[in-house]
Amino acid sequence: MFEIVDIDALGRIGKLFVNNKQMITPNLFPVIHPFKNVVPASDLKEIGAQCLFTNAYIMYQNELKREKIIKSGIHNHLQFDGLIATDSGAFQKYMYTNNQIEINAEIIEKFQEDIGSDFPVILDIPVQLDDTHEQAKEKVNTTLSRAKDNVRRRSNKSCHWVGPIQGGKFLDLLNKSVNEMNSLDFEIYAIGGIVKAFLEYRFDLTTDILLNVKKSIVPNKPIHMFGLGLPQYFSLAVACGCDLMDSAAYILFAKEGRYFTLSTGTEKLDELEEFPCHCPICCQYTPKEMKALGEDMRIELLAKHNLYLSFSELRTIRQAIREGNLWELIEQRVRSHPSLVKALHVVNNNKTFIEASEKAYKKSGRLYISSESISRPLIKRYDEKITSNYRIPKEAKFLILLPELDTRGANSPSILSWISQINNTQLIPRELLHVVFISDFYGVIPLELLDTFPLSQFESITAIDNNDDLHQNSVRKALKFLNVNIQHYEKCGVLIPEMFLNQFNEIKKFSSKNPIHKIFSLLQAKYASKISNFTNILYLLQYFRTDGMQ
């Protein structure tokens, strides 16, 4: 049973209950060899593994040990009392395509039932990245018919089957795969045929595939990504709906002397003077000491560090989901590699889909920390609401445009003073005045909405150049709003101060790069007769008064 307890974006925290055991999601199944464990299973548990992934095909092939494992069961064999998933040999066929491996689906699936796997995987046929559509179609069809055979044949009720979704970059095949798998009962749906894309850092492709699967897969089952093991990508994958992953990357990288970090990706042990991490391994050894060890020991320690880091990242991600800060985390993580930034941009093409599951309210304030923040679902939601769901106050005749300063609303002494002058003016009845802020991220923020979520609490970077993304974002959104709404006002006064007081009460020069300059000049070119700019509020209010107000 899968119970979802919290969400952020398409990311979710869930509890998976199986065979009287429980695991939390998002989570990673470390992949281990069934006979040659570099890191013993008991150590894996200590490092944080609630579940393991191993290979049924390798066990089955070993005729000497096969019967013994059937007798003892997989948990005894591996000496691990958590949840165990087993792969069917499809992976071997996928990775070593020229190797003529003969596997029979019925036999390998029955074997997984016999050894008591918690999560066996059917014998699917992974689509290769360079398959033609025709080849991919055949693999998808065979996988689907094997999935149906599997459902019919099942005999061990303790086995909770994993159903692979194939199709890869061919979205029509991927969708066919999802639609048919939806009607077959699997405990976990797993996206296959993407390991080689991970190896080539094609995170844009894997993100696109994941989002396409999420659009039509049943919502009440966990989604697994086969072979996802690079922790820098975990947060983005989780935000796009990935609940589970399995990987041997921690050990494969360790064998190449590679050390996981989240800031710069993987580092070569040879090039490290100090360890940046403080897991038990990195606290106990210096890189120099680790290099001096024998190969087996060195690989084991590096693998352990790599896993500590992976589980630490999963805890960070789950906590970010609880706090509603997953996008903030992702924007930090993608900075470690351009391919990750590219993958984040794929999300932009799917904003409508992701926005639909964004929470209506979050407890904490938002931080807009990079130009990618413009694409956050919450901002898209605001754009839509201000366009289609907002009416300016009925009595408003005069529009006052104010710039955003270093900080918002009541935290800004200058803004407080402007608002106070506007609210207390004797020159014009207050209800005739409508105040709207020009905002880098939101375009416009009407004053009466300033204390509502998500406008009330956010801190953001600001435009620093007339052509940067933020500047363009602000100008485009503000003009969209103003071109539609300006007809409601008799006049519009734009405040462009020379100086202002920042949040520390220091006098600062108002930036010549603030988008309000550009917005004013574009509006003036179009609506010269009813728009003017001022350096202080008093002059601005007088401008409204000189016309028809006496």
Q: List the one residue out of 124, 95, 112 whose CA is nearest residue 34.
A: 112
Residue 90 contact among ligand GUN, Zn ion, none, beta carbon within 5 to 8 Å by kind: ligand GUN
d(CA 286, CA 161): 43
Q: Tell me the closest approach of the beta carbon of residue 5 to ligand GUN, in angstroms.
A: 28
Q: List the one residue out of 106, 118, 37, 112 whose CA is nearest residue 81.
A: 118
The CA distances from residue 127 to 97, 174, 197, 480, in Å, are 11, 10, 12, 45
Q: Tell me the closest approach of the beta carbon of residue 187 to ligand GUN, in angstroms.
A: 15
Dihedral sign for Cα 170, 172, 177, 179, please. Answer: positive
Q: Does position 277 bind Zn ion by CB under 5 A?
A: yes
6, 43, 81, 87: the catalytic one is 87
Which amino acid is located at 272 in the chain?
L
Three-state secondary-structure class, residue 85:
strand
Q: Does position 90 bind ligand GUN by CB under 6 A?
A: yes
Please list, in sequence order, all residues whose beta carbon lies within 8 angstroms of the beta carbon of residue 32, skipping any fewer than 6 positions away: 38, 39, 41, 44, 52, 53, 54, 78, 248
Q: Tell me the closest approach of the beta carbon of residue 246 to ligand GUN, in angstroms.
A: 7
Residue 305 contact among ligand GUN, Zn ion, none, beta carbon within 5 to 8 Å by kind: Zn ion
Pairing of strands 366-368, 458-460: parallel
Q: For the chain, how long is the longest CA-to-CA vector?
A: 102
Q: List the one residue out of 477, 274, 265 whose CA is nearest residue 384.
A: 477
Q: Does position 186 bind ligand GUN by CB under 6 A?
A: no
Q: Does position 56 bind ligand GUN by CB under 6 A?
A: no
Dihedral sign for Cα 165, 167, 171, 172, please. Answer: negative
Q: Does position 121 bind ligand GUN by CB under 6 A?
A: yes
Q: Does position 94 bind ligand GUN by CB under 6 A?
A: yes
> Between 282 and 475, whose beta carbon lies closer to Zn ion?
282
Q: Which of 30, 39, 60, 87 binds ligand GUN (CB under 6 A)?
A: 87
> Between 126 and 446, whose beta carbon lies closer to ligand GUN?
126
Residue 313 contact among Zn ion, ligand GUN, none, beta carbon within 5 to 8 Å by kind: none
Part of the chain binding ligand GUN (CB under 6 A), chosen from 106-114, 178-186, 189-197, 497-505: 189-197
The CA distances from residue 254 to 78, 267, 304, in Å, are 21, 10, 9
d(CA 507, CA 504): 9
Which amino acid is located at 401 in the chain?
L
Part of the chain binding ligand GUN (CB under 6 A), chosen from 84-92, 171-179, 215-223, 314-322: 84-92
Residue 287 contact among Zn ion, ligand GUN, none, beta carbon within 5 to 8 Å by kind: none
For residue 325, what are its two tokens?
């800060």
Q: Tell me the closest approach of the beta carbon of residue 226 to ligand GUN, in angstroms.
A: 3
> Between 286 and 535, whose beta carbon lies closer to Zn ion?
286
β-bridge mates for residue 31, sequence order: 53
Q: Which of 11, 164, 222, 454 binds ligand GUN (CB under 6 A)?
A: 164
Q: Does position 257 bind ligand GUN by CB under 6 A?
A: no
Contact criterion met (CB below 8 Å) for 496 and 543: no
d(CA 331, CA 313): 14
The CA distances from residue 181 to 3, 88, 123, 185, in Å, are 20, 18, 14, 8
Pairing of strands 21-25, 11-18: antiparallel
> Between 4 and 279, whose beta carbon lies closer to Zn ion?
279
Residue 377 contact among Zn ion, ligand GUN, none, beta carbon within 5 to 8 Å by kind: none
Please list, in sequence order, all residues whose beta carbon lies within 8 angstroms of the beta carbon of residue 372, skipping any fewer than 6 positions away: 331, 334, 341, 344, 345
Please list every residue from 376 through 415 that binds ligand GUN, using CB under 6 A. none
Part of the chain binding Zn ion (CB under 5 A), chosen from 70-78, 140-148, 277-285, 352-360: 277-285
Q: Tell me the closest approach of the beta carbon of residue 251 to Zn ion, in angstroms.
A: 15
Q: Which of 279, 293, 341, 428 binds Zn ion (CB under 5 A)?
A: 279
> Between 235 and 312, whose beta carbon lies closer to Zn ion?
312
Contact criterion met (CB below 8 Å) for 436 and 399: yes
Q: Which residue is nearest to ligand GUN (CB)?
A: 192
Q: Does position 282 bind Zn ion by CB under 5 A?
A: yes
Please list every residue from 308 through 327 that binds ligand GUN, using CB under 6 A. none
Residue 279 contact among Zn ion, ligand GUN, none, beta carbon within 5 to 8 Å by kind: Zn ion
Part of the chain binding ligand GUN (CB under 6 A), chosen from 106-114, 121-129, 420-428, 449-457: 121-129
Q: Does position 30 bind ligand GUN by CB under 6 A?
A: no
Give yes or no: 440 in active site.
no
The CA distances from residue 476 to 158, 345, 436, 441, in Å, are 57, 19, 16, 11
Q: Does position 193 bind ligand GUN by CB under 6 A?
A: yes
Please list, in sequence order, all residues whose beta carbon lies within 8 angstroms of the beta carbon of residue 547, skipping any fewer than 6 positions away: 490, 491
Q: Does position 34 bind ligand GUN by CB under 6 A?
A: no
Task: Give the interface size with ligand GUN as a residue count (CB under 6 A).
Answer: 14
> Between 193 and 443, whose beta carbon lies closer to ligand GUN?
193
Part of the chain binding Zn ion (CB under 5 A), chosen from 38-46, 172-180, 185-193, 275-283: 275-283
Please list every residue from 214 through 233 that binds ligand GUN, using CB under 6 A. 226-227
Q: How many contiguous H segments (helices) and E segments (strands) does the chain have?
A: 23, 22
Site for ligand GUN, rule CB under 6 A: 87-88, 90-91, 94, 121, 124, 126, 164, 192-193, 195, 226-227
Binding site for Zn ion (CB under 5 A): 277, 279, 282, 305
> Annotated active-site positions, please?
87
